[in-house]
Structure 1
Amino acid sequence: MKTASTALINLFASDTPFEQFDLYTITLTSGLVLRYSTCSFDVLVGRGLPWLCARSVGGVQIDEQGDGGPRAHWTSGFSTGTWSVIVAPRDTDLIGNHSWLAAVNAGILDEAIVRVDRGYVAAWPLLPTLTLVPVGLVNVFYGRVAEVDFGRSSVMININDPRELLDVDMPRNVYGSGCGYALFDSGCTLSKAAFALPLTITGVTGINTIQTNSSKADGYFSLGSVRFTSGGNSGLQMMVRASFLAGGEMDLMAPLPFTINVGDTLTAYPGCDKQFATCAQKFNNLPNFGGFPFIPAVETAV
């Protein structure tokens, strides 16, 4: 059930024309919050930070017109609702210190939480006023980024509502030799912060191969991840395909959008192949192992 303020209800009840616009609040996994307005004004509600329009520094152009406008699919029951919107960033638009398009291409929107609110005013303010205070807001969608499609100069962001989390295979628990938990989740119980290892880049041998001051054994960071904490890629993260003791080398899953330089710092996290021996020897976490390696193999009855 959607709620509205008394002032907004009175506006609707007055049977007079009004204007509407959308406000996007995007919370990244890093904790950074982006606020964008689709109208020509910065929108201010209460004492919070404003939603920025495309004319403001920090804003971005969101296509709300014609076929490029947002496409919503609202559902009831357990079906997943969706929201798709096209963003057309300029070369000067940034997310943090990164080019908007390059940062999104590097995966900065992965698993981001998006809230879409619709604002209403009786009439647009007179220019050159840049700040707009709406009569009221109504939340029209809430979800997380599911897929990002790239064009030459635009990005389509597809968002699914939280009911997508119910779209899992049944039964919930499948008996197999591998662990059914994700590393550092509530079933695994290990603390991600306890395994964070700050490192420094000591060499770059390829577009996605780096050397660090790590002294961990071969494979320690394989299937893990790194998050850069300085340099051009600061704040961006990437999965690790393979890691080696020699030279503290790591092969990243894909190139990062900006040049990696010697001296850049990062935080590295180990990976897990979900095997019994790995849980016991690498993480000393056997009591919380979520697999069943001793189930007898399938045999044919005679």
Structure 2
Amino acid sequence: MGVQAALEAHLKSGLTTVARCWGIERTDGCKFGFTDHDLDLSFEGHVFKAQTGLTSTALEQSTGLSVDNTEAMGALSDASVSDADIEAGRFDQAQVFCWLVNWSDVSERTLMFRGTIGELRRAGGAFHAELRGLTEALNRPLGRVFQKPCTAVLGDSCCGFDLTSTGYSDLRPVDDVSENRIFRWRNLSGFAPGWFERGRLTVQSGDAKGLKQTIKQDRIEGEIRIIELWEPIRASITSDDQVLLEAGCDKRHTTCRFKFNNILNFQGFPDIPGEDWMMSYPRQAGENSGGSLR
């Protein structure tokens, strides 16, 4: 008898021993488990802790491309979901699973929901997490965009560039940081000014390990190299925490060619005509190149 068939037979028996189990897997690999049963349960690589205060509203499921959704509510606790981790964004886009399980035989179970955490809010020592189903991804626009700048993300499968190549990343301890957003080094040399602009800073150690932000500016003032982020890292950063700096790309054809030597994978159309091309007219001299009309 299959797993679901066994659970169905159990439910039809009239005397049931079922519970709900919620599994959360963050993007950094950390796993959390919750159950409304009064004893801990374990399966699928999760340990579901009893009496952890997680409950959920009814699951709304629909056909077509409508988004399945529900909401989970639980207590904030340093032992499970902490206020600091939510503030740092560690639960953003975390994977969520919900099983209906026979707690007397956990092999009899069925997966009722799978999705990601959407909006996450907290108040009064509790958190409320909006859970979005797998059909959420189908509502995103897809297709090729025809534009002059490159549409790829530096280092992704379309770009194909290896950011671990020598000269395109730098791992070093923090010298000085203010507002968790502005980093300063005295000995950060060997890179042209603006080399890391539009790149990424990832914290490799300390309380903020695993958190990352996009670099807004990379400038030199005297002997000081200043790396400024668009938004602050949402966790404590101290001197000597290790950070990884990755080179940035402004999506231009010349940058792809001369900075990264990756022109074969350029995903833009640098010679596409501009908007004023529609107003061009025949003439005997000059070129209709798609440039500005003079």
Calculate the TM-score normalised by the size of structure 1. 0.78
Unmatched 5+ stretches in structure 1:
55-59, 123-132
User: Match for residue 61 of structure 1?
Assistant: 53
Q: Are 2:82 and 1:109 aligned?
A: no
**In structure 1, what is the Cα distance between the partners aligned to 2:169 and 2:65?**
38
**In structure 2, what is the Cα distance between the partners aligned to 1:160 and 1:229?**
30
Q: Are 2:75 and 1:88 aligned?
A: yes
**In structure 2, what is the Cα distance between the partners aligned to 1:189 and 1:12?**
51
User: Match for residue 144 of structure 2?
Assistant: 173
**In structure 2, what is the Cα distance between the partners aligned to 1:43 and 1:180?**
46
Give the superposed CA RMSD. 2.7
User: Match for residue 101 of structure 2?
Assistant: 119
**In structure 2, what is the Cα distance between the partners aligned to 1:53 and 1:284?**
55
For each residue in 1:246-295, what CA deviation from the matched residue of structure 2 results, as whole angstroms up to 9, or x when unmatched? Answer: 53322233333443221111222233332223222332211111111211
**In structure 1, what is the Cα distance between the partners aligned to 2:249 and 2:123?**
34
The alignment partner of 2:153 has SS state of coil
The structure that has the greater radius of gyration is 2
Q: Are 2:191 and 1:201 aligned?
A: no
The alignment partner of 1:73 has SS state of coil
**In structure 2, what is the Cα distance between the partners aligned to 1:223 and 1:82?**
35
Tell me by how many angstroms 1:236 deviates: 2.5
Aligned length: 272
**In structure 2, what is the Cα distance between the partners aligned to 1:21 and 1:153?**
23
The alignment partner of 1:248 has SS state of strand
**In structure 2, what is the Cα distance between the partners aligned to 1:135 and 1:287?**
51
For each residue in 1:31-80, what CA deviation from the matched residue of structure 2 results, as whole angstroms up to 9, or x when unmatched? Answer: 2333333433211238x4522235xxxxx532x2xxxx334321222332
The alignment partner of 2:130 has SS state of strand
**Distance verdict in 2 for CA 1:71–1:15, change over 3 Å:** closer
**Distance verdict in 2 for CA 1:115–1:293, change over 3 Å:** same
Contact 1:179 1:289 (8 Å CA) reproduced: yes
Q: Are 2:183 and 1:186 aligned?
A: no
**In structure 2, what is the Cα distance between the partners aligned to 1:159 and 1:271?**
33
Contact 2:148 2:269 (8 Å CA) reproduced: yes
User: Match for residue 292 of structure 2?
Assistant: none
Letter in 2 for 1:52: K
**In structure 1, what is the Cα distance between the partners aligned to 2:216 and 2:30?**
27
**In structure 2, what is the Cα distance between the partners aligned to 1:8 and 1:189?**
46
**In structure 2, what is the Cα distance between the partners aligned to 1:50 and 1:198?**
35
Tell me by how many angstroms 1:89 deviates: 0.9
Q: What percentage of aligned pairs have identical amino acids?
A: 22
User: Match for residue 214 of structure 2?
Assistant: 239
User: Match for residue 79 of structure 1?
Assistant: 66
